[in-house]
Amino acid sequence: MHWLEEHNGTWDIAVVDLFLKTGSGLGVLRGCEGRKPHQRVVVLSNYPTAEMRTQCLALGADAVFDKSTELEGLFSFMEDMRGGQAGPS
């Protein structure tokens, strides 16, 4: 969160893990509530249950990807951002 706050408005995408050394990725999602319209926040996790996906999206995540099976989806999302096409999923 400290880095995101220091670079407010200058980043394009934050890739957040749910399990952090200190705190939780859910806290990072809450901290990104006031981000700029062009900024995207995605969750990349080993724990993307249906309930967790719903919770992450409710907290403002633009997308949630499973580390073990959905990396191509993350890469596609990022590629779409380059073309200005990324949106909620």
Give the Cα separation of 31 and 50 in Å (integer). 22
Q: What is the reported pTM?
A: 0.85
For the stretch 8-67, pLDDT in tens is 888 999 999 998 888 899 999 999 998 999 999 999 999 889 999 999 999 999 999 999
SS3 assignment, position 22: coil
Sign of CA dihedral 42, 37, 59, 34: positive
Amino acid at 47: Y
Task: Check if CATH label 3.40.50.10860 holds for domain 2-82.
Answer: no
Residue with tokens 């859910």: 26
Q: Which of 58, 53, 45, 49 is nearest to 18 (CA)?
A: 45
Does residue 85 register a pLDDT over 80? no
Give the Cα separation of 33 and 61 in Å (integer). 9
